[in-house]
Amino acid sequence: MSKKFKNLFEESIDIKQNCINNGFTELVNIGDEIISCIKNGGKLMLCGNGGSAADAQHLAAELLIRLRPKYTREGLPAISLSLDTSTITACGNDFSFDDLYKRTLESIGKPEDCLLCLSTSGNSRNIIKALSLAREMQIKSFCFLGSGGGKAIELCDRSFLVPSDVTGRIQECHITAGHALMEYIEDYLIEDEYIILK
């Protein structure tokens, strides 16, 4: 049975190595645009479905609360768009689950904000609707995607694409990339003295 675990770890390592081989230009660009958004008074909004919803909340918390124990700093403006069951079930009941992120985005989004969507397929209808609305509202949008990127890759401004069709492996790369992105943002804002360590 241990061979199963070994194979999955090796598969995950191979896909991450492919990401390394493809380079991180887009992640740097996404990081720079999020930094600009925050410095201009905007906030980072994140969304996803299932495990990607959990990752969106996880990454928002890294900016809101604390990312690394060695840095105690003021919070940075970030929010997941799937925070509570009342909002999710009300939208599903009164409108459609497909409208969840569109509804929250149009309620709290501003042109100075930016949106990060996490989707393994890139075809989730609520993600597609949110990206389409973000474009209408002139909100910069970024995606963490897998496989070929789906429809989302054409609707976002920038994307990080994991070269895999396996949901678990894609999500593992997304959270690794997400942590690296949050560290990049935090490091820049500390070095720039935009945020002060306590």
Q: What is the topology classification, in CATH, of domain 2-191? A: Rossmann fold (3.40.50)
- pLDDT at residue 71, rounded to an integer: 87
| Over residues 168-178, mean pLDDT | 97
Per-residue pLDDT at 188: 96
Average pLDDT over every residue of 44-49: 98
Whether the Cβ atoms of residue 49 and residue 117 lie closer than 8 Å to each other: no
**Average pLDDT for residues 30-35, to the nearest whole number?**
98
- Note the pLDDT tens digit of each residue in 61-100: 999 999 999 889 999 999 999 888 999 999 999 999 999 9
The per-residue pLDDT for 198 is 81
Taking only the tens place, the pLDDT of each residue in 182-197 is 999 999 999 999 988 8
Contact (CB, 8 A) for 160 and 129: no
pLDDT at residue 196, as a whole number: 84
Does residue 1 surpass a pLDDT of 80?
Answer: no
* pLDDT surpassing 80 at residue 108: yes
